[in-house]
Amino acid sequence: MTKGATGRHALGTLQLLVAVAVSLSAARGTPSLHYGHIAENSPSGSPVDGVKLPLVGGDCRAAHLLLDTGLTGNYASDFKLFFHRGQRNVGLKSTKTLDREFIAIYELRVTLPGCLKGPASLQVEVADQNDNAPEFIGENKTVKVNELTLLGTEVARYSAKDSDAEKNGQVTYFARPKSHFVHVVPSSGQVTLVRSLIGVTAFTLHVYAKDNGDQVLISEPLRLQFEVARDGFDRFPRQPRAGSPRRPRAVSGEELALTVTVSDDVKVGDLIFTVPDQKFAKRWFEVVSEPDSPVQIERDSGRLYLAHAFRSPTDVVVKIQNVREEGAENGAVDDQL
């Protein structure tokens, strides 16, 4: 044999020795790992899919005592080993109905001397079933909100949990009955104002959470009640008593006539004008028009808001009251809208 041939022969021998070393390491090392799964809520005695441990050596079918003692691990009593009929392998079946929310993955070990090559590690996953409805974190709410709260403002927020996994545990939110004034954001549980509350005193809705399972489960509802405040407004002029003369339209003091054009796209609750005043250092504003006035005024700032739609020109009388000292002076602004 030439030197070159000897080198090739030696290289081939080296490769063979390495392969044998790997095989011995696998046999003497950690137990082989096997995976299986079983559906949550399966009846007792259901087999675990994917677990078939091949038998070696002699016939182990008579060694039933080994099956009772060969399975160990935390909560190993939830399962038992069994021989597959007509097959030379060992399987695993449940001994009770399993709850994924209690244990999602079992770590087990099988030792059957003379029947298996060696110890085997089993990892059994309990596949989730949608068996839990979402539950709210929190209670019924009563929210007090001013009628001039800006649209888009978050007025409440809800949170719910679902102990199921993956899409079965994904929660979205909605309200019943559907409200014209607020919107419940499905993904976050935020409740935002989407319509003016002018003229509204109170309203109630119920908020629900639902999961994303194939068979949707819905939570028990929470009540969301709104109380609308009118702080700082002279919304409804006092009505004259029966038989008494109507309050005159005009007020004493200086008068200034202004004309304000209201666009067609203005919505109820929008700011349409701010009454000017530079005469008094401290004052408040009051609408003294008829009760069906199409505007409301903010007492401290003089900002006029649209209260309801109107089609024809309308006169609105605003009284500006000096509150700097006693003996207040009066002025008047007559806005023709």
The pLDDT of residue 190 is 95
Helices (H), the chain: 3-28, 64-69
The Cβ-side half-sphere exposure at 333, using a 13 Å CA radius, reads 22
Tokens at 335, concatenated: 């806005």
Check if the beta carbon of residue 127 is closer than 8 Å to that of residue 159.
no
Starting from the edge strand earliest in sequence, which strands make up the sheet with 154-157, in order?
154-157, 190-193, 182-184
Tokens at 281, concatenated: 């250092």
CA distance 100 to 41: 8
- Give me the mean pLDDT over the 245-257 stretch: 52
Average pLDDT, the chain: 78
Which of 123, 124, 121, 122 has its CA nearest to residue 30?
121
Domains, the chain, with CATH or none:
27-127 (2.60.40.60), 135-229 (2.60.40.60), 254-336 (2.60.40.60)
CA distance 173 to 191: 10
- Dump the DSSP string for 177-244: SPPSSEEE-TTT-EEEE-S--TT--EEEEEEEEEE-SSS--BPPPEEEEEEEE-TTB--SPPPPPTTS
Tokens at 127, concatenated: 């596949």
Tokens at 140, concatenated: 């019924």
Model confidence pLDDT, tens digit, residues 147-162 = 888 888 999 999 999 9
- Give me the mean pLDDT over the 243-259 stretch: 54
SS3 80: strand
CA distance 9 to 136: 74
Contacts of 1 (CB under 8 A, 6+ apart): 9
Indicate if the pLDDT at residue 27 is higher than 50: no
Which of 129, 131, 110, 113 has its CA nearest to residue 121?
110
Check if the beta carbon of residue 225 is closer than 8 Å to that of residue 143.
yes
Tokens at 117, concatenated: 């090559």
The pLDDT of residue 134 is 96
Backbone angles phi, psi at 12, to 5 degrees: -65, -40
> At 93, is the pLDDT very low, low, confident or very high (cuts 50, 70, 90)?
very high
> At 178, is the pLDDT very low, low, confident or very high (cuts 50, 70, 90)?
confident
CA distance 146 to 294: 19
Backbone angles phi, psi at 247, to 5 degrees: -65, 135
Model confidence pLDDT, tens digit, residues 94-134 = 999 999 999 999 999 998 887 888 899 999 999 999 999 99
> At 13, is the pLDDT very low, low, confident or very high (cuts 50, 70, 90)?
very low
> At 144, is the pLDDT very low, low, confident or very high (cuts 50, 70, 90)?
very high
Backbone angles phi, psi at 95, to 5 degrees: -110, 0
Indicate if the pLDDT at residue 270 is higher than 60: yes
The pLDDT of residue 326 is 47
CA distance 279 to 287: 18
The total of other beta-carbon atoms located within 10 Å of residue 14's CB is 10
> At 57, is the pLDDT very low, low, confident or very high (cuts 50, 70, 90)?
low
pTM of the predicted structure, to 2 decimals: 0.56
Model confidence pLDDT, tens digit, residues 184-238 = 999 999 999 998 888 899 999 999 999 999 999 999 999 999 999 975 544 444 4
The pLDDT of residue 83 is 83
Q: Output 20 or 266, whichever has higher pLDDT.
A: 266
